[in-house]
């Protein structure tokens, strides 16, 4: 017996494919660009030179043999993980404050979102001016508590602290916003019930709120970690990777290698390594997020 | 009789030349539309101010695309390396051009200069300072710059900077400090300034981790210590940065930075250097001389009339100073589809007339043509009291001014590494060890 095809179902399937086509094309475009970038990392492409030869893993071999490259990996990891850890802690504290019902906190809630809407390069330039050791306003304020001539971005031993500080200032509101949404999602009955059963404020936070908002914290951490591991604007706009190589994270180092020193293939290899760092970190955080979410549900 | 003969032949020559100039067809590319890309800079302002005259004379429509310095160089690299024909004329310098000419990204100009149907007989290419035209002359091979006086011409000097010591006369007079002429002398002067007025930063130079920090003070002062960036060996070149002369220079230079420069030195580009001088926060600076000139213009800043000039400092045992140059120039994108019209624009923008007009407007300083420096208009303008000793110091320093970097493809890599190493040394790294490490890095790239 012949099976009759349902023309309506066929039409729906076609409609679905046509609807999805733009998304597939865009995704394909992204993948193609990535593949092209990876291919370039396997070549000796240099700006200003007509010939390009395929060199296999030579760029990677070159990078892995250089201590400066490993210094860049270390700087990238220190920058990203420190910034995200501070943003999580301060963002959580701010979210708790916003959720507390304190009138002043409610008023200030829109104001703290301000750094998020500023372009990172403008943020970097603004902080560079304020962090000037001799003319900056920060050292003026520090002088009131007896701290004179803090070097901020100008010396190798304080530059990493300074750029992490800027990242924390800029992106903590993002953390606070996400965690605040998580806190608002907790049913008031659960908190009330715990209170009736004699739980103290710290106990409620530690045993009820924190586990319930942990997936939110990890979600924010995931987004921030991806961004911080790729951070370019803040560092380039303040230290350009210096002094020396103190803040020479992979993205900045790759920029100098590709666009200043013209070794584009080598710069592309650095960005592939940067991508791998992001991928591994993201997989780790996603696993943590899945674990935290399963525990809550 | 001889005078009459001479005058007659001069008149004939002038008449002949004028006749030829009159015959030059400025409207050959009438209707063409070209794009000129440049930095946002007073040199660009000097051209923009008269652009309508060029359009009227030639019938060529010019669209200027001007970008902030930080953006411009990145865009220029991308435009040229992708072979985009969007920009017909580009503003550039010699050092970036070394990196793009081997792949044929700039159009050769020698043929155009020699072609009377393309170049106005009044143009007078030989009128440019020889140090400037010589610096723009080289041949190319694959990944190689062949430095030869008979080589191809890749760009036309628009205006240029030479490196000098600039100082605030009011501050040095008030504190009773003499203008230093050696590097250790500069350090001692800084100590005296700090002791007399701790609120004044004694000295500013660029410190960012980019080759532009090397091209002002270090490469100029290094010459009197007896070394430069590279040394020629039997079969090529080798870095000179780990030689005893270099080690000695770096000890003095690092000591100078530590005693003279502001704490922000590692982040200081020319903006900060100039700002310090113009606001009176800084007493001295080694940088491009025209920054002192522009700030001396009446009403331009509080520093007007207070900045004076001196040659760059030297080694204590060799008074022979040297000064490096940066030449803002106009070149043709080899991918341009309007090379003829582009060349017309370049010869107009770099003509004798435009050179002197830009200079006497206080924009095109230093003008690139020697005739401009001999013109009474410019002499009168540049010798106004507010410019102090600008004119005389220029004339003295210009004799010792030349491009001090070794022409080579991949110039930026080694010089950027030098700037990073300088930051490390000023930050406390062992000088000999760091220079040795730097030299190994450069040698690896050379091989």
Please state, in angstroms and as integers, the Cα–Cα distance from residue B294 to each residue in A208, B212, B215, following that order: 67, 20, 20
pLDDT in tens, A248-290: 999 999 999 998 888 999 999 999 999 999 999 999 999 999 9
Residue B238 in this model has a pLDDT that exceeds 70: yes
Write down the residue that tokens 């011409």 correspond to: B153
B279 at A interface, C-beta within 8 A? no
Separation in Å, CA of B250 to nearest CA in chain A: 16
CB-CB: which of B81, B420, B426 is closest to A245?
Answer: B420
| Bridge partner residues of A3 (DSSP) | none
Average of per-residue pLDDT across B271-288? 94
Separation in Å, CA of A201 to nearest CA in chain B: 47
Task: Compute the distance between CA of residue B153 and CA of residue B155 in angstroms, rounded to an integer.
Answer: 6
Chain A residues inside the 8 Å CB shell of B413: 261-263
B280 at A interface, C-beta within 8 A? no
Residue B349 in this model has a pLDDT that exceeds 90: yes
Categorize the per-residue pLDDT at B5 as very low, low, confident or very high, splitting at 50, 70 and 90.
very low
Average of per-residue pLDDT across B282-310? 95
Task: Compute the distance between CA of residue A210 and CA of residue A203 in angstroms, rounded to an integer.
Answer: 10
Report which of B170, B162, B163, B203 is spatially closest to residue B296, judged by C-alpha positions.
Answer: B170
The pTM of this model reads 0.88
A241 at B interface, C-beta within 8 A? yes
Task: Compute the distance between CA of residue B233 and CA of residue B227 in angstroms, rounded to an integer.
Answer: 14
Average pLDDT, chain A: 92
Residue B14 in this model has a pLDDT that exceeds 70: no
Task: Compute the distance between CA of residue B366 and CA of residue B401 in angstroms, rounded to an integer.
Answer: 13
pLDDT at A82: 98
Whether residue B366 is preceded by a cis peptide bond, meaning omega within 30 degrees of 0, is: yes
Quote the tokens at residue B80.
Answer: 């040229």
Quote the tokens at residue A229.
Answer: 């591991």
B444 at A interface, C-beta within 8 A? no
B401 at A interface, C-beta within 8 A? no
Spell B235-254 as b/e; 16+ CB within 10 A means b: eeebbbbbbebbbebbebbb
| Cβ-based neighbours of A191, under 8 Å, separated by 6 or more | A204, A208, A209
Task: Compute the distance between CA of residue A292 and CA of residue B10 in angstroms, rounded to an integer.
Answer: 94
Quote the tokens at residue A209.
Answer: 């709120």
Please state, in angstroms and as integers, the Cα–Cα distance from residue B97 to each residue in B91, B137, B155, B158, B239, following that order: 10, 11, 9, 15, 21
Task: Compute the distance between CA of residue B302 and CA of residue A90 in angstroms, rounded to an integer.
Answer: 45
Query: Chain A to chain B, count of Cβ pairs less than 8 Å apart?
Result: 94
* Contact assessment for residue B303 and residue B221, using Cβ atoms and an 8 Å cutoff: no
* Contact assessment for residue B273 and residue B287, using Cβ atoms and an 8 Å cutoff: yes
Please work out, in degrees rounded to the nearest 5, the angle formed at the alpha carbon of residue A198 by the alpha carbons of A195 and A201: 55
CB-CB: which of A48, A154, A260 is closest to B416?
Answer: A260
pLDDT in tens, B403-421: 999 998 888 899 999 999 9
pLDDT at A102: 82
Average pLDDT, chain B: 92
Residue A190 in this model has a pLDDT that exceeds 50: yes
Check CB contact under 8 Å for B267 and A242: yes
Quote the tokens at residue A91.
Answer: 């963002």
Average of per-residue pLDDT across B183-199? 97
Task: Compute the distance between CA of residue B307 and CA of residue B298 in angstroms, rounded to an integer.
Answer: 12
B212 at A interface, C-beta within 8 A? no
pLDDT at A4: 64
Task: Compute the distance between CA of residue A252 and CA of residue A250 in angstroms, rounded to an integer.
Answer: 6
pLDDT at A51: 82
């Amino acid at each position: 017996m012949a099976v009759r095809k349902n023309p309506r179902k066929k039409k729906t399937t076609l409609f679905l494919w046509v609807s999805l086509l733009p998304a597939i094309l865009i995704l394909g475009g992204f993948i193609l660009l990535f593949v092209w970038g990876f291919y370039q990392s396997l070549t000796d492409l240099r700006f200003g030179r007509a010939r390009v030869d395929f060199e296999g893993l030579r760029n990677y071999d070159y990078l892995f043999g250089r201590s400066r490259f490993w210094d860049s990996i270390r700087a990238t990891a220190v920058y990203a993980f420190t910034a995200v850890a501070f943003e999580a802690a301060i963002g959580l504290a701010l979210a708790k404050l916003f959720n507390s019902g304190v009138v002043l906190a409610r008023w200030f809630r829109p104001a703290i979102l301000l750094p998020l809407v500023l372009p990172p390069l403008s943020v970097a330039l603004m902080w560079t001016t304020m962090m000037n050791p001799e003319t900056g306003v920060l050292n003026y304020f520090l002088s009131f508590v007896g701290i004179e001539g803090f070097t901020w971005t100008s010396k190798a031993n304080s530059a990493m602290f300074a750029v992490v500080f800027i990242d924390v200032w800029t992106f903590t509101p993002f953390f606070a916003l996400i965690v605040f949404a998580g806190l608002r999602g907790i049913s008031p009955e659960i908190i009330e019930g715990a209170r009736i059963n004699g739980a103290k404020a710290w106990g409620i936070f530690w045993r009820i709120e924190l586990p319930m908002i942990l997936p939110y914290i990890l979600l924010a951490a995931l987004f921030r970690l991806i961004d911080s591991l790729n951070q370019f604007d803040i560092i380039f706009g303040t230290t350009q990777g210096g002094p020396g190589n103190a803040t020479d994270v992979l993205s900045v180092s790759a920029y100098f290698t590709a666009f200043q020193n013209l070794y584009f293939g080598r710069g592309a290899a650095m960005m592939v390594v940067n991508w791998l760092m992001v991928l591994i970190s993201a997989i780790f955080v996603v696993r943590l997020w899945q674990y935290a979410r399963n525990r809550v549900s | 009789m001889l005078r009459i003969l001479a005058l007659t032949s001069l008149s004939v020559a002038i008449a002949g030349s004028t006749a030829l100039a009159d015959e030059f067809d400025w409207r050959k590319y009438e209707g063409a539309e070209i794009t000129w890309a440049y930095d946002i800079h007073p040199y660009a302002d000097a051209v923009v101010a008269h652009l309508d005259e060029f359009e009227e004379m030639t019938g060529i429509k010019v669209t200027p695309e001007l970008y902030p310095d930080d953006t411009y160089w990145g865009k220029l690299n991308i435009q040229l390396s992708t072979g985009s024909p969007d920009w017909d004329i580009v503003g550039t310098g010699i050092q970036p051009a070394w990196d793009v000419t081997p792949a044929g990204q700039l159009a050769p100009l020698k043929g155009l200069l020699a072609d009377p149907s393309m170049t106005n007989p009044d143009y007078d290419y030989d009128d440019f300072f020889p140090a400037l035209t010589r610096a723009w002359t080289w041949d190319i091979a694959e990944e190689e710059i062949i430095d030869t006086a008979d080589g191809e011409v890749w760009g036309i000097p628009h205006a240029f900077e030479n490196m000098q010591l600039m100082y605030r006369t009011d501050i040095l007079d008030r504190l009773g400090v003499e203008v230093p002429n050696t590097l250790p002398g500069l350090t001692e002067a800084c100590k005296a300034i700090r002791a007399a007025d701790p609120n004044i930063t004694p000295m500013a130079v660029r410190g960012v981790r980019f080759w532009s920090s090397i091209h002002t003070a270090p490469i100029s002062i290094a010459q009197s210590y007896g070394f430069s960036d590279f040394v020629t060996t039997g079969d090529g070149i080798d870095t000179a940065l780990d030689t005893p002369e270099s080690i000695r220079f770096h000890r003095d230079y690092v000591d100078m930075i530590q005693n003279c420069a502001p704490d922000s030195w590692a982040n200081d580009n020319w903006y900060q250097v100039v700002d310090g001088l113009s606001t009176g926060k800084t007493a001295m600076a080694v940088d491009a001389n025209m920054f002192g000139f522009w700030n001396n213009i009446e009403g331009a800043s509080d520093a007007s009339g207070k900045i004076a000039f001196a040659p760059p400092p030297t080694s204590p045992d060799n008074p022979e100073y040297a000064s490096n140059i940066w030449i803002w120039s106009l070149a043709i994108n080899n991918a341009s589809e309007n090379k003829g019209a582009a060349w017309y624009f370049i010869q107009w923008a770099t003509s004798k007339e435009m050179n002197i007009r830009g200079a006497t407007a206080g924009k095109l300083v230093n003008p690139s043509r020697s005739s401009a420096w001999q013109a009474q208009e410019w002499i009168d303008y540049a010798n106004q009291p507010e410019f102090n000793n600008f004119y005389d110091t220029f004339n003295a320093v210009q004799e010792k001014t030349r491009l001090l970097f070794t022409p080579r493809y991949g110039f930026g890599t080694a010089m950027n590494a030098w700037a990073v190493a300088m930051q490390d040394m000023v930050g406390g790294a062992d000088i000999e060890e760091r220079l040795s490490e730097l030299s190994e890095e450069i040698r690896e790239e050379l091989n």
